[in-house]
Structure 1
């Protein structure tokens, strides 16, 4: 488990903790519905993508074997309450040593713009590096409705790829971004 505070500047120019964030790896059966609800509320997922996410959630939550995908959950700690603020799902790209794909990043609308997405992506990067990875790929829609998502990933050092990779072909209307990690 990893804990982090997001901070916000007050009117006097000093920083005050805004929210205590608890990051954790993996899913338990009791997390499944909450993850799927957040994904439904936050994302413009196609029916196929939602079905794939649902399959990954159930496999991770109920399977004791090595998971195909890894989930990192972000919970906002507020006394005894710890609502799900966001999550990421990622995994290795089969046959491509050191390459991982970020399948999905979702942050609850109530918790956006305060650093939760960045904290979750930082944790994904730490976990990928610990697993021997050196590159994280993600796919983002080129639709104007996703300008904020593209800007977000670019602000974190993801670079739009101008060439196609045989192991990572985007869906029509999407762009591939990649980030080298150390």
Structure 2
């Protein structure tokens, strides 16, 4: 599924797969994964975990949905389930990092619709002309 997402670069795809592999290790305590499926077929997932050296702060590391189901609420449902889980863990803040490039505009719109707000921006972080945007939501 990850390899079908056109927005992700090959480096991003490799990172996403690596996080899933780490989350599935029996000794894992840092990453949580929730999945969405339709008729037994994976259509999306979210990977998140506690932010090191913080109290009650969590990172949403990765979210992806199959391009075939985009716009059908899969991502929003996954984020809602993640937020419910984090409320149970006494989370205070969820943090998301994303790109400022035009291709990530729909992603930023997705987070804005879910009430994530821009907290910080580091200009030219990823490369010249590609800012890092840090979004947060209080739970």
Gaps of 5+ in 2: none
- Quick one: distance in 2 between partners of 1:44 and 1:120? 19
How many residues in Structure 1 have an aligned counterpart in Structure 2? 133
Q: What does residue range 154-165 of structure 1 map to in structure 2 within 5 Å?
A: 154-162=112-120
- Quick one: distance in 2 between partners of 1:141 and 1:177? 11
Alignment-derived partner of residue 89 in structure 2: 131
Task: Calculate the TM-score normalised by the size of structure 2.
Answer: 0.85
**What is the aligned counterpart of 1:56 among 5, 8, 19?**
19
- Quick one: distance in 2 between partners of 1:83 and 1:52? 22
Matched, 1:93 2:51: yes
- Quick one: distance in 1 between partners of 2:23 and 2:120? 33
SS at structure 1 position matched to 2:75 = helix
1:50 Cα deviation (Å)? 3.8
- Quick one: distance in 2 between partners of 1:54 and 1:148? 22
1:65 Cα deviation (Å)? 2.1
1:124 Cα deviation (Å)? 0.8
Q: In 2 relative to 1, CA 99–45 (structure 1 residues): closer, same or farther, beyond 3 Å?
A: farther
Query: Could you tell me whether the CA contact under 8 Å between 1:59 and 1:67 is conserved in 2?
Result: no
1:175 Cα deviation (Å)? 0.5
Gaps of 5+ in 1: 1-37, 165-169
SS at structure 2 position matched to 1:150 = helix
Query: Could you tell me whether the CA contact under 8 Å between 1:139 and 1:177 is conserved in 2?
Result: yes
Bigger radius of gyration: 1
**What is the aligned counterpart of 1:115 among 73, 82, 98?**
73
